[in-house]
Amino acid sequence: MRIPYLNAAFEKAVFLGAATGLVLAATPAAADWRYCLARGPARTVYLSAPFSTIAAMPSLDAAFGRMLDRTQRAHHPVQCPRADDAAALRAMRLTALRYNRQDGETVVELDWTPDRDAVVAAKP
């Protein structure tokens, strides 16, 4: 025996689920706000400019490290902290700047972002 109401409800649920899936698939991923940093020798810290990205953290770490290598700056492992918005990231970065300077580190601010780096790396 077929129950029309139950089948209609089921079909509606399947349709809504499929529609939701399509909307989510079509919506771009939310971008994180990040900056990258790495310690260098002689109490040096390298910090990038802030940037918005959807790139995965390992690729960002690697890209910043490659730029440091390309510009002949010895460095320890790279990290790229994230924040949900630009204001929070600026506050985090400012705290890192102040902390490292107060700790006696030489802070080198680099005008680097993954987008600018891709353009520079592509030039012959």
Q: Give the pLDDT mean for 23-37.
A: 69
Of residues 123 and 52, more confidence is placed in 52
pLDDT, position 87: 97
pLDDT band at 23 (very low <50, low <70, confident <90, very high): very low
Tell me, what's the pLDDT at 102? 98
Number of independent structural domains in the chain: 1
Residue 12 maps to a domain: no
**For the whole model, what pTM was predicted?**
0.70
Q: Which sign, positive or negative, has the C-alpha torsion 6, 8, 9, 13?
A: positive
**Where in the sequence is the domain holding 39, given as residue range(s)?**
32-122
- Any domain includes 36: yes
Q: Examine residue 4 and state whether it is found in any structural domain, yes or no.
A: no
Query: In this predicted model, what pLDDT tens digit does every residue of 76-112 receive, in sequence order?
Result: 999 999 999 999 999 999 999 999 999 999 999 999 9
